[in-house]
Amino acid sequence: MDRKKGNDTNIGLPSRRNVLTTGVVVPNTSRCVQCGICSYNCPINIDVRRHAWLGEPVKDRHCLTCGECVQRCPRGVLRFEATNMFNEESILNGGK
Amino acid sequence: MSRFVIVGSGAAGIAAIQSIRELDKNSEIVLVMAEKEGYYSRPGLAYYLNKEIPEAQLFPFSKDDFSQMNLKIIFGIVESVLPETKAISFSDGKTIRYDKLLIAVGAKAVRSSISGTDLDGIIYLDMLSTIKIAIKKAKKAKTAVIVGGGITAIELVEGLIAQKVKVHFLLRKDRFWGNVLDSEESQLVENRLKDEGVVIHYQTEIESISGKKGKVFAIRTKTGEEIPCQIVGFAIGVRPRLHIAEKSGIKSERGILVNEFLETNFPDVYAAGDVAEVYDPHIGKHILDSLWDLARSQGKIAGFNMAGKKKKYIKDVPFNVTRLAGLTTTIIGAIGQKGMDTKAEIVRGESETWQEIPDALVSQYKFDSNRIRLMIGENTIVGALIMGDQTLSEALHQIVNQKIDISTIRDKLLQSQVPLGETLANFWKEWRKENAY
């Protein structure tokens, strides 16, 4: 368990608690086919699909990190990454 | 000022336009569209059919997005390329000049040639226009017969179930998608389809389709069985649209042949996406794919080359994520095995690479419907299939694509008593740490 980085699953994915407090939805563009299921299910109408096309994390301050888009995506495009305010670069690179 | 002409408004065409505009804000770009609907998510059609999204959601770009790209849009069918005058001609006889040309007209679903396929009620998951017909038909239909294998066939099956149509699924062989899935994986998918009420007919082919008043009424199988139905859906392959290449003398085999810069044998003429047959350095031959992401990345590179920024296209390992009877399934690289059914024509959303039989050992982990199957080479994983739980899907995608050396865990992966998932998870966690990935 690596609490310092906010990751506590066995392959380094952030926990639900961490996501709700400091998380961001990050797309993997190569998986996305632009079907738009994510945007369609966003309760506050964020165009998640556009973020996936551009390969940008959903850094919309209105994002509730409710996980609706992550769950509904049929192709596993979206995942949560814990933000790390000291390593902005990592988030911009899709969590890499 | 140059004139860039892009023929085709799919993922490859749009990606090429964006690359060109990144480098060149002012040159003229002409986008030629054959479909009046323009750019939409073709893979999304399956989710429109199964009611997950409405039609409007299929369009990723708004009018504003297109106006920002600063394009001239023309609707028409291109007939041929005239290299001497650097022009393309349309079916209505008009011509337009190009400085750089991209052919990205995609592939078309193979039409069945059995008798009765001209009847009302024959459907294909091909274009928005064909899927609209399918939805219209499904509203009044009670029963459908679906023919074919692979992802598209199952999308038709599940789409029609969502449309409350009873489905008979006809398989030519003794199991589903035998050239990619192993027999247990096929069975898992088949059982789940049966649970949803689908009637699967094994080793069954259609002899003919009969109609009444021009509409589908029933099919007759080669063994003489008759199934009354109002819809017959086919997913029996896709073929690159080669009419332009053939008429113009652009070198093509099964698709338009392109080099690593996506150039055809005609100067300043490029091809990308489903229409192109691209060299795959991973397996050392030209391969046909029908995958959105590869189309997009080919279009992107073609666009850069057209605008003067020379870039090699390096093909990623073909992969796709799909749902097979509700089971999320990721397929990466070559996963064919000796003894699997012989190679088949690809349908939309597939790559020929998957059917390749690598020189590799098989390692498997199964728990209920969650499965991982790995093709393990000398010191890399050359292919993987992940069904159900997708926790390791992204990790395996990177491990295969980047040819990451797995020799430290190779023996462990091949021991059946060691849990494969845990070994991989630990390996990936360590690798990420060491490589700051």
* CB half-sphere exposure, B337, CA atoms < 13 A: 16
* Sheet bearing B256-258, strands edge to edge: B256-258, B276-280, B285-287
Which residue of B60, B330, B390 is in closest CB contact with A36?
Answer: B60
Percentage with pLDDT > 90 across chain B: 75
Are B180 and B355 in contact by the 8 Å Cβ rule? The answer is yes
Is A76 near chain B, with CB under 8 Å? Answer: yes
**Which residues span the domain enclosing B63?**
3-108+239-306
Residue B313 lies in a domain: no
| B263 secondary structure, DSSP code | B
CATH of the domain at B276: 3.50.50.60
Q: Would you state the torsion angle of the CA atoms of residues A29, A35, A40, A43, taken in this order, to the nearest 10 degrees? A: -20
Give the pLDDT confidence score for residue B340 in this predicted structure: 60
**B97 and B31: one domain?**
yes
Q: What confidence tens digit (pLDDT) does each residue in B120-145 have?
A: 999 999 999 999 999 999 999 999 99
Q: Is the Cβ pair B60, A53 closer than 8 Å?
A: yes
**B173 and B34: one domain?**
no
Query: Which residues in chain A touch residue B297, judged by CB atoms under 8 angstroms apart?
Result: 30
Last-in-domain residue among B216, B236, B256: B236
Q: What confidence tens digit (pLDDT) does each residue in B67-92 have?
A: 999 999 999 999 999 999 999 999 99
Residue B312 lies in a domain: no
Give the pLDDT confidence score for residue A1 in this predicted structure: 37
Residue B140 lies in a domain: yes
**B232 and B345: one domain?**
no
Q: What confidence tens digit (pLDDT) does each residue in B365-402 have?
A: 777 778 899 999 889 999 999 998 888 998 999 999 99
Q: What confidence tens digit (pLDDT) does each residue in B142-175 have?
A: 999 999 988 999 999 999 999 999 999 999 999 9
Q: How many domains does chain B have?
A: 3
**B102 and B144: one domain?**
no
B177-203 average pLDDT score? 93
Is B343 near chain A, with CB under 8 Å? Answer: no
Are B144 and B165 in contact by the 8 Å Cβ rule? The answer is yes
- Asked if the model's pLDDT at residue B103 lies above 70, the reply is yes
- Asked if the model's pLDDT at residue B108 lies above 80, the reply is yes
**B62 and B96: one domain?**
yes
Q: Taking the CB of residue B196, how many other CB atoms lie within 10 A of it?
A: 14
**B413 and B381: one domain?**
yes
- pTM for this entry: 0.89
Last-in-domain residue among B189, B216, B236: B236
Give the pLDDT confidence score for residue A89 in this predicted structure: 47
Point out the least confidently predicted range of A82-91, B246-255, B289-298: A82-91
Give the pLDDT confidence score for residue A84 in this predicted structure: 59
Give the pLDDT confidence score for residue B25 in this predicted structure: 95
Averaged confidence pLDDT in chain B? 92
**B104 and B115: one domain?**
no
- Read off the tokens for B41: 């998510």
**B225 and B207: one domain?**
yes
Which residue of B41, B328, B393 is in closest CB contact with A36?
Answer: B41
Last-in-domain residue among B185, B205, B236: B236
Is B70 near chain A, with CB under 8 Å? Answer: no
- Asked if the model's pLDDT at residue B312 lies above 50, the reply is yes
